[in-house]
Structure 1
């Protein structure tokens, strides 16, 4: 029987694993969702990560943590990463719509077939990311990210039951609440995307990345609300590094 592999990818900045506690909390949740016990302690994983950073002498990059449900083996290793360029942060990126959804959106389980199909569409369309649309025509998440929408001074995002509860997503919602930006979890029709004032991608590697186009719909990447959240999120990372 093929082993189910639960995983997390976290970002290392200045030799610190950013938001590690939130990543491990989500990993534990992925196990709960498939009725399996998470057998590794926070201390154990934290120590493995520290030793890995030390042994490879890396001050930044992405680390993948995997745990095979049957094999019961923890692996912690650096993986190739690709961070957006300054130009992408300034002007936004191109995205496409992809009509499909992950089997268990709330759990981070490796599914190579789905990933390959989506990656092919992204590559064929020369896009940065694919925005998933479910069978009811609602925007859910990105193929490897979460998606936020801006309508006036309000931030919209899919209900958590329909998406992976991303660590960056959670941080953004906390930041928005702190600075007085209203956040609404909403089932948003893909056919109404052209009525939005802006959209952005959130995730471990991209952080907060403005969207320039969705298929043939154009957005202004220089949206004030998006720029404000980008700055606040970077400040939050700096604070985390200082405190750890």
Structure 2
């Protein structure tokens, strides 16, 4: 069941009081989670592009245009007078009907010590049916969450049937060897917005990056690792099962963290500038 935070949510373009919220049940659900920083929906255009891609991959057509959804997100932020948080957008297709939900959800951002020391992760043998599409799969999420709780770890790193690392259960994963960054091929993962920006930043700042599979048995041959995502941003890994990394001290990881934070600041400034011009 979904939880709705703050005073209002949006249902089919209408602002509604949060106490009326009912979690979407059944149907086929395509979703996005967008981080709000300083009242700005971060990388909104990229999220909308991925939403369209997910719909295409699932052979679904939405009656809601990108402009309508984007405007609805802004309307919800303004209605709640909200500066920070995560919002979830769900397109629910059921019984020849389509419903649009946009609402604030509980979020958990890493503490500063997690960035300075890194987080513990586990390997989890499992894979998504269609990794490129952002589709709600409650049973998969529940199973992973149970394992994370049992092991008191931050994230589960998925391993496919061929013994290859693909992605995190709610993030993408990168490994570092020397001055080179390695991450799984795009066809094997959910194309994370943060992942996309990291690869672009590597190109911009002359950091070598390659999309190749990392085998489970080869993890310990790498110097560092980190996960990326909407909430964690760029988060160093200190442990994968029993394998120890000093990722938070790795020069490449630190450089990427700095460049990514700068890109967030740049996006927010440009978004506000463009909004002021349009007003």
TM-score by length of 1: 0.98
CA distance in 2, matches of 1:67, 1:164: 18
Equivalent position SS for 1:69: strand
Give 1:193 deviation, angstroms: 0.4
Correspondence for 2:227: 201
Q: Are 2:181 and 1:155 aligned? A: yes
Correspondence for 1:121: 147
CA distance in 1, matches of 2:229, 2:26: 28
Correspondence for 2:62: 38
Give 1:188 deviation, angstroms: 1.1
Correspondence for 2:128: 102
Correspondence for 2:18: none
Structure 1 stretches of 4+ with a deviation exceeding 6 A read none
What does residue range 70-85 of structure 1 map to in structure 2 within 5 Å? 70=94, 71-85=97-111
Structure 1 residues 192-216: Cα deviation after superposition (integer angstroms, max 9, x where no partner): 1000000001000000000000010
CA-based RMSD: 1.0
Equivalent position SS for 2:167: strand
Correspondence for 1:63: 87
Judge conservation of contact 2:62–2:98 (CA < 8 Å) in 1: no
CA distance in 2, matches of 1:37, 1:117: 30
CA distance in 1, matches of 2:237, 2:52: 31
Give 1:38 deviation, angstroms: 3.2
Structure 1 residues 40-99: Cα deviation after superposition (integer angstroms, max 9, x where no partner): 222211211111111111101001010012331111111010000000000000000000
Equivalent position SS for 2:128: coil
TM-score by length of 2: 0.86
**Structure 1 gap ranges (5+):** none
Equivalent position SS for 2:86: strand
Structure 1 residues 8-59: Cα deviation after superposition (integer angstroms, max 9, x where no partner): 0010001000000000100100011011123322221121111111111110
Correspondence for 1:136: 162
Correspondence for 1:243: 270
Computing the radius of gyration over CA atoms, which structure comes out larger, 1 or 2? 2
**Structure 2 gap ranges (5+):** 1-24, 272-279
**Greater relative contact order (Cα 8 A, min sep 6): structure 1 or 2?**
1
Give 1:2 deviation, angstroms: 3.8
CA distance in 2, matches of 1:174, 1:37: 30
Aligned residues: 244
Match of 1:25 among 13, 26, 49: 49
Match of 2:196 among 170, 183, 187: 170
Correspondence for 2:240: 214
